[in-house]
Amino acid sequence: MSEEKDSINWEKHEDIVERFIQTIARNMNLYGINPSIGRLYGVLYFSDHAMTLDDMREALSMSKTSMSTGVRALSDMKMVESIHKKGLRKDLYLTEEDWYKSFTSLFGIRWRNQTETNIEEADEAIEKLQQLLQTTDDESLINKINLDLEKLHYARNYYEWLMNFIRMIESGEIFKFVPKNE
């Protein structure tokens, strides 16, 4: 009876963990990660040991190419790291256990690139509108350009603020204001 009860409890345990892995997978879109890569992350996170691509393929019934692409994406986001084990030719992978570190890295990568692009675009639009302002005598157009320049300067100031926020996240300074839950 005890062995049967343990078997049932193991199944319950697997179901509970599987539900949480599905939750991780669903919510990864917040970070720009598709659900299959989120599921891969969840399986790696709950694994008791480092996994090879073959291990992952077996656990998830996905192609080795998909596993490789997913692991590379997670590695680029600093959510997974490759480790080498002496005598084993295959790479082994582990998740970054510090989710705070993963978030700050991922947030920085995702937001920095887009914010830098937005600053460049705002600067370019400001420059072009200022040039256009020098070539027109149309009062209506001059007023519209001036209003749009105010909006662009406001947007650029916001993006600069956002860059400061991103730096605060990346440096870990944010944890002075919003401490980690330990």
CA distances from 66 to 44, 47, 90, 152 (A): 15, 19, 17, 42
Residue 105 CA neighbour count, 13 Å, CB half: 13
Per-residue pLDDT of the chain (182 residues; tens, 9 = 90+): 577 778 899 999 999 999 999 999 998 888 778 899 999 999 999 999 999 998 998 899 888 888 889 999 899 888 899 988 887 888 899 998 888 988 888 888 888 999 999 999 999 999 999 999 999 999 999 999 999 999 999 999 999 999 999 999 999 999 999 999 97
- Which top CATH class is 2-96? mainly alpha
Residue 140 carries which side chain, given as an amino acid letter? S
Which are the contacts of 112, defined by CB distance < 8 A and separation ≥ 6? Answer: 163, 166, 170
Structural domain spans, the chain: 2-96, 100-177
Secondary structure (3-state) at 65:
helix
